[in-house]
Amino acid sequence: MTGAVGDLATPADVHDLVTRFYREIVFDELLEPIFGEVAEVDWANHIPKLIDYWCWILFGTGPNSAPVTKVHRHLHGQRPIEPDHCDRWFALWALTIDAGWTGPYAVRAKDHAATLMAGMAKHVFGFSWTAPERAEAATGRVAP
Question: Does the residue 2 lie in any domain?
Answer: no
Query: Which pTM value belongs to this model?
Result: 0.86
Q: Give the pLDDT of residue 26.
A: 93
* Mean pLDDT score of the chain: 87
Question: Does the residue 1 lie in any domain?
Answer: no
Type and span of the H or E element at 59: helix 43-59
Sign of CA dihedral 113, 118, 119, 123: positive
Number of independent structural domains in the chain: 1
CATH of the domain at 55: 1.10.490.10
Question: Does the residue 21 lie in any domain?
Answer: yes
Domain span at 121: 11-139
Distance, first Cα to last Cα, the chain: 10
Question: Does the residue 3 lie in any domain?
Answer: no
Sign of CA dihedral 40, 43, 44, 47: positive
Q: What is the 3-state secondary structure (H, E, C) of 7-57?
A: CCCCHHHHHHHHHHHHHHHHCCCCCHHHHHHHCCCCHHHHHHHHHHHHHHH
**Between residues 9 and 137, which one has the greater pLDDT?**
9
Q: Give the pLDDT of residue 134.
A: 54
Task: Find all residues with CB under 8 Å of 33, minimum gap 6, and list them.
Answer: none
Question: How does pLDDT run across 101-139, given as a tens digit for each residue?
Answer: 999 999 999 999 999 999 999 999 999 999 987 545 455
Question: How does pLDDT run across 54-86, given as a tens digit for each residue?
Answer: 999 999 987 766 677 777 777 777 889 999 999
Q: Give the pLDDT of residue 144.
A: 42
Q: What is the mean pLDDT of residues 47-51?
A: 92
In the predicted structure, residue 3 carries a pLDDT above the cut 90: no
Question: Does the residue 144 lie in any domain?
Answer: no
Q: Give the pLDDT of residue 108.
A: 97
Q: What percent of the chain has pLDDT over 70?
A: 87
